[in-house]
């Protein structure tokens, strides 16, 4: 399909009324898979390395005030060791209801080289460092699906420019990550709406495709510019450049039907400079995605767990540009009606210089894969041996910290 949709291509697509909406050429993909469970799992990949120390602030550690002085006064108090970045204020009702929690000082097994590409590959592959990075041919969500006999797939719709390797593999799930954008003139959109007016399946799906394409286009345009331009767009166009709202709404719609597992990504977490502003923007976008999922899922929110994880954390000390550099351990967000929230999970290692990893990073005390494994055990009833051997090869899940109700 060319970048501009021709009249001939449009009319040809409109003539295919007998095909399923899932196969319609106007639909771009997402990563979804149906499964024989009533519970739902959403995995959000936070690309770029989210600073967990800014998102979930260890204000009870005396060394935090020494390293992050400007972050202390505006922190949302949770009681005890931790507080939250003020951009998470919209999520506080979820915290109070026990539908929001965090895991701190957690990471993948990735160490030392701090490459975004390698870190994300390892995060989505779900393997240890004993496997050559990039060599794993399937992602851990796909290996989860491989453990379920007779699984059927549901076609899904791409809601981002990046591939979701986390669901790549032989198990039946549908990936289509187009390299072109859907661009329709106003007249073409009106024609589409007229032709599809009396067919709710095609009408709604086409409307969603146009909405998602517009959001993806805005986000791609931002990513191609410099950081200052991207931040300016976030300020000037609060709805554009935020495809995660459309992603989350579409995911919720699919999860209300046959889909049980969904995954999408939010990029832009590489805060080497201007972190105060950028984190406010990015955490606001993450909060928006969570609340959009909750609203869209309705009653199914009570059967849903959302895991938002990143490839690595950031350095404890700020750099000379008011940002942070690539680190090691960070924080994971967990939300949903199935979550045993209102808690910060994990063992806090401290951030005195002697307590840090390599004397610069937050020390990992847990494996983020273990939290994902316990979530899948609680949601889908998978055997621990299956999770440690097939889904996350070589993982020791450790003790159950009670992530889910």
Give me the pLDDT at residue 170, please: 83
- Report the CATH architecture of 24-391: 3-Layer(aba) Sandwich (3.40)
List phi, psi (to 5°) of 144. Answer: -60, -50
DSSP string, 25-60: TTPPB-EEEE-S-S-EEEEEEEET---HHHHEE-TT
**CA distances (Å), 140 to each of 120, 126, 334, in order?**
13, 5, 18
Quote the strand ranges of 193-351, DSSP E: 259-267, 304-310, 330-335, 344-345
* Location of structure tokens 């007998």: 18
The span from the CA of 288 to the CA of 249, in Å, is 10
pLDDT in tens, 211-234: 555 555 544 544 444 444 443 334
For residue 283, give the H/E element and its range.
helix 275-297
pLDDT in tens, 327-344: 999 999 999 999 999 999
Give me the pLDDT at residue 202, please: 58
pLDDT per residue of the chain (405 residues) written in tens, 0 to 9: 333 333 333 333 433 333 333 333 333 334 666 666 789 999 999 999 999 999 999 999 999 999 998 787 899 999 899 999 999 999 999 999 999 999 999 999 999 999 999 999 999 999 988 777 777 778 999 899 888 876 655 523 334 456 678 888 887 665 533 344 455 555 665 666 556 566 665 555 555 555 555 555 544 544 444 444 443 334 334 334 467 887 888 889 888 988 888 998 998 999 999 999 999 999 999 999 999 999 999 999 999 999 999 999 999 999 999 999 999 999 999 999 999 999 999 999 999 999 999 999 999 999 999 999 999 999 999 999 999 999 999 999 999 999 999
| CB of 217 closer than 8 Å to CB of 158 | no
For residue 124, give the H/E element and its range.
helix 116-125
**CA distances (Å), 174 to each of 11, 261, 364, in order?**
26, 12, 34
The span from the CA of 154 to the CA of 123, in Å, is 24
For residue 210, give the H/E element and its range.
helix 200-224
The span from the CA of 114 to the CA of 49, in Å, is 10
Q: Which residues pair with 102 in a beta bridge?
A: 333, 344
| CB of 391 closer than 8 Å to CB of 147 | yes
- Supply the DSSP symbol for 344: E
In the structure, how many helices (H) and strands (E) does the chain have? 13, 11
Quote the strand ranges of 37-142, DSSP E: 40-47, 56-57, 76-77, 83-84, 100-107
* Location of structure tokens 């005890």: 80
* Location of structure tokens 């610069």: 360
In the chain, domain spans: 24-391
**What is the signed CA dihedral for 116, 259, 29, 223, rounded to 10 degrees?**
-40
């Amino acid at each position: 399909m060319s970048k501009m949709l021709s009249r001939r291509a449009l009319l040809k697509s409109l003539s295919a009324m007998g095909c399923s909406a899932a196969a319609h050429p106007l639909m771009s993909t997402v990563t979804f898979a149906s499964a024989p469970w009533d519970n739902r799992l959403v995995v959000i990949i936070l690309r770029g390395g989210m600073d967990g120390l800014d998102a979930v602030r260890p204000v009870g550690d005396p060394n935090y005030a020494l390293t992050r002085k400007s972050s202390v006064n505006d922190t949302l108090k949770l009681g005890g060791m931790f507080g939250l970045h003020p951009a998470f204020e919209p999520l506080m009702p979820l915290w109070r209801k026990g539908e929001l929690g965090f895991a701190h000082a957690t990471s993948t097994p990735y160490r030392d080289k701090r490459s975004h590409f390698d870190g994300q590959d390892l995060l989505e592959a779900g393997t240890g460092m004993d496997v050559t990075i990039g060599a794993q041919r399937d992602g851990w969500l796909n290996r989860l699906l491989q453990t379920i006999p007779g699984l059927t797939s549901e076609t899904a719709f791409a809601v981002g420019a990046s591939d979701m390797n986390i669901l790549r593999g032989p198990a039946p799930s549908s990936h289509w990550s187009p390299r072109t954008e859907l661009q329709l003139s106003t007249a073409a959109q009106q024609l589409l709406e007229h032709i599809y007016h009396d067919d709710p399946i095609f009408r709604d799906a086409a409307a969603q495709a146009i909405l998602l394409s517009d959001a993806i286009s805005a986000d791609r345009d931002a990513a191609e510019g410099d950081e200052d331009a991207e931040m300016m767009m976030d300020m000037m166009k609060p709805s554009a450049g935020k495809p995660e709202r459309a992603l989350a709404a579409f995911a919720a719609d699919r999860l209300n039907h046959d889909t049980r597992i969904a995954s999408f990504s939010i990029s832009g977490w590489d805060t080497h400079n201007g972190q105060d502003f950028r984190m406010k923007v990015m955490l606001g976008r993450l909060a928006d995605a969570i609340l959009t999922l909750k609203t869209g899922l309705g009653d199914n929110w009570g059967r849903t767990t959302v895991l938002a994880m990143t490839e690595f954390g950031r350095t404890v000390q700020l750099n000379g540009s008011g940002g942070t550099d690539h680190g090691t351990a960070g924080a994971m967000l967990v939300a949903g009606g199935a979550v045993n929230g209102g808690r910060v999970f994990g063992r806090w290692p401290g951030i005195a210089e002697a307590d840090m990893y390599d004397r610069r990073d937050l020390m990992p005390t847990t494996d983020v894969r273990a939290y994902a494994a316990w979530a899948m055990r609680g949601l889908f009833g998978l055997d621990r041996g299956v999770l440690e051997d097939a889904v996350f090869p070589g993982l020791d899940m450790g003790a159950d910290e009670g992530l889910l109700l």
